[in-house]
Every structure is written in structure tokens, then in C-alpha cells.
Amino acid sequence: MLALLLPAGIGLMALAWLAHGLLLDRMAREFVEARLKEEVAFLEHQIRDSDGKLDTLQTGDYFQEVFHHAFAIHSLSQTIISPEPWAPLLMPLIEYGQDGTLRVHNSETPNAPLEILAYRTSFRINEMPIVVIVSEDLGALKQSQAELHAWTAIVSILLVTLLVVVIWFGISLSLSPVVTIKSALRRLQDGEISRIEVQAPDEFRPLVQQLNQLLNALEQRLERSRIALANLSHSVKSPIAAVRQILADSDRELTSDLRNHMRARLDDIDRHLEAEIRRSRFAGPQVGKSAYPVKQARDLLWMLGRLYPEKSFELASSLPDESRWLVEEHDLNEIMGNLIDNAGKWSTQWVELSLEQGGGVMRIRVTDDGPGVDEQELGNLGQRGLRLDEQTPGHGLGLAIVRDMVARYGGRTSFSKEPKGGLRVTVELPEKLSGSSADSQ
């Protein structure tokens, strides 16, 4: 910022300094001209009062004390010039013949200035021509202007220096949180800390929170990956050992029962792999990600209606089509899709999907008219350790996936019996997701 602003500021100050010099010279010249005109008018008035008799005028010291300028009065019979060393400069102006402001440059007259500004006027008294000239030394005036201009430059340089110091101090003070965050990031990279804990201003607090949420999400996803790999390894170890044992026994004939047993074990492996792959596709809470629940619900109900044409799928919601939920689109599809699919599988005639929002909660409710679940089994639905799946009676692996997904969003999954029979599954997600609840198990 200083590298860009400092040259621009210096350039502007230089232009202002040049403009100041030009305006100062113009104002000084206009001021001197106005004074010279007043003094010429005063001399003309004195001469007219004396009826053109120059001898009766109080010249010499009187005019020098009053005007502080050089002057020349010329008539046909007499010429008065004061001070006398200026005579070589003023005589040509008397003979010049043109009234107004006159300027003499580069004069080499001894004891006289190098440059003068004069005002000349001519008039007649009793048919006698008279010329009056009043002049001033521009050298002394320019010297005063140069001193003032130099002091202006000095003050400008001091102001620019002070401005640079103030800007540097302001930038350093305002960016000190950035330096602190940068230091924290370096310590984080070096492994000295696991989270960014700094006192940041309001402008940087969302950034720090998002970074910490990202670190939480990465850590929790890594932990979930390790758990998933451990679960998968444990789950497939037994079926693989069983298949290997059968294949290793060369004395046993591969009967239909053994083939079916091997197929069942391989199906177990396939189901576990598919379940973990589905879990790995979940994105979890992400900043800037949202979904349109009503539109996605209609698409899912239409698709499952084609899958179960003998059953009715209904949507009950007062939400507008353009309403958005802070849930990743694929995650919302997985949650609603698993719930509707399970309900459609075990329903008798109908499935109802309800979408609600209010009180800081986004609510998904799926109800079916199937056989339902016993009261004592409701609390066990969706438990990972039960190893329920889609091919066993009851609600299967899809509910476990839904429960895990909802927990990552800091939500809650509950199960209850529908008054007319069947099962009701209610999912409640917070409208505003926090870093602490995101991706929790």
C-alpha cells in the first residue's frame, strides 16, 4: 500500500507545489500592479493640485518614505527621478510612449535592480504633457517569494513524512491481527498447536472460526475414515476366512449348500463395502452449501413412485419452492431417499413425507402404514452394531446411515409409532450449523 500510495502522494504534492509557485507569482504581481496604480493615481492627483508645477511637489525623501518605490515625473521643462541610480532604467520608459504595466529584464545598470515592474501613465495639464512612472524592484519580491516557496516545500515534505509515519503506524496497527493469525498459522503448520486460538477483531473472527471448523471437519473425517476402515476390516475378515477355509479344503466337494454359503459370505462383504462407500460420499456441513428441499423431495417421491407403482407417495409441506436449507444437496438426498425408500418398502398402501421449518429447526418427517416396529425395538433402530440391512425384516442399514448423517449436522433422529399403525421417523436439523456440532458422531 505504501509502495503505491507514496509515489502518488509525492507526485500530487509536487504538482501542488508547482501550482503554488505559479499562483504565488501571479498574486504577487497583481498585488504590486494594484499598488503601483494607486501610487500613480496619487502622484497624478498631487500634480493636478499643483497645476503642473513640479517644483512645488514634495519629492525626494517624502515620496520614498510614502511609496517605498522608485518614481519618475517628466514634463517638457523638467524630469524628476528618484532614486537617481534608477534613471537609466526609467528614462527609456518615459520615452516608450505606451501607458500601462511595463517590465524591464536583465538590466546591467550599476546600483540598480536587474528586473523591475513599472506602471506608466500620461496626461495633460494646460496642454502640457506629463508622464508619471512608479516602479518596484522585482528581484527583492522574487527573493521573498522564493523563501516562502522554499518554506512551503519544507512544510510539505514534513507533512508527507508525517503522513507516511501515520499511515505506516495505522497499517501496522490495523494489520496486527493478520500478523497474529499468520504466526498462528505458522505454528499450526509446524505442529505446535492444533487450533487457532487468537483474539481477532470482528472482521477476522468469522475467518478464524471457519478455519477452526475446517480443522475440526478434517480431523473428524480422518477419524471416521479410520473407524470405517477398522469396521470394514473387522466385518469382512470373517466372511473371507470362511470362504478361504472352504476353498482350502480340497477333500470337500463344492455342493450347492457350500456354494450358497460362499455366496452369502460374499454378499456380506459386498453389503459392507457398499455401506462404507455410501458413508464416505457424505460431505457434511459446509459453508456456502445449501439445497432446495421441496424440489428434491418431489423428485425423490416421483422416482420412488415409479419403483413402487402400487403405493402412493405424498408430500405435505407449506414451504415455498425457493426455500433453501443449509444442507449439502447430496446429503439431503441421501437422508430423504433412505427414509422414503425404507418406508416405501414396508408400507402397505401409502407413504407421506412432511417438510417443516420453524423455531430454529428444519424438520423431515416420513410416515408409512406398514406393520411398524415394537415399542421395545424403537430405540434400537439405526444402531450400527445391529448390522440391520435392506434384506432383513424391519428397517435396515439405510436408517443407520441416516442417523450418522444427521448426527454430523448436529441434528436428532427419533422413531415413533404412527397412530394408525406403521412407523414415523422424524429428523430435526438446526437451521444454523455450528462448528462444534458439525460432523459429530
pLDDT digits (tens, 9 = 90+) for 185-207: 888 887 778 788 777 777 778 88
Q: Check if the beta carbon of residue 423 is closer than 8 Å to that of residue 369.
A: no
Domain ranges of the chain: 2-143, 205-280, 293-430
Domain 293-430 in CATH: superfamily? Answer: Histidine kinase-like ATPase, C-terminal domain (3.30.565.10)
Q: Which residues have C-beta within 8 Å of that of residue 94, sequence separation ≥ 6?
A: 72, 74, 79, 120, 131, 133
Q: Check if the beta carbon of residue 369 is closer than 8 Å to that of residue 349.
A: yes
Average pLDDT of span 374-379: 75
Q: Check if the beta carbon of residue 431 is closer than 8 Å to that of residue 363.
A: no
pLDDT digits (tens, 9 = 90+) for 63-102: 556 556 788 888 888 888 888 888 888 888 888 878 888 8
Q: Is the pLDDT of residue 428 over 90?
A: yes
3-class secondary-structure state, position 418: coil
pLDDT at 243: 74
End-to-end CA distance of the chain: 47
In Å, how far are 316, 362, 428 from 359, measured between CA atoms? 19, 9, 11
Q: Is the pLDDT of residue 321 over 60?
A: yes
Say how many C-beta atoms besides its own lie within 10 A of residue 169's C-beta.
10
Higher pLDDT among residues 226 and 413, named by residue: 413
Q: Which residues have C-beta within 8 Å of that of residue 346, sequence separation ≥ 6?
A: 368, 370, 371, 394, 395, 423
Q: Cis ω on the peptide bond leading into residue 206 (within 30° of 0)? A: no
| CATH class of the structural domain 2-143 | alpha beta
DSSP 112: S
Q: Is the pLDDT of residue 435 over 70?
A: no
pLDDT digits (tens, 9 = 90+) for 247-281: 777 777 777 877 777 777 787 777 667 666 655 55
Q: Check if the beta carbon of residue 271 is closer than 8 Å to that of residue 397.
A: yes
Say how many C-beta atoms besides its own lie within 10 A of residue 44's C-beta.
17
Dmax (CA) of the chain:
158
pLDDT at 234: 66
Phi, psi of 11 (to 5 degrees): -60, -45
This prediction has a pTM of 0.48
Positive or negative, the Cα torsion across 417, 418, 423, 425? negative
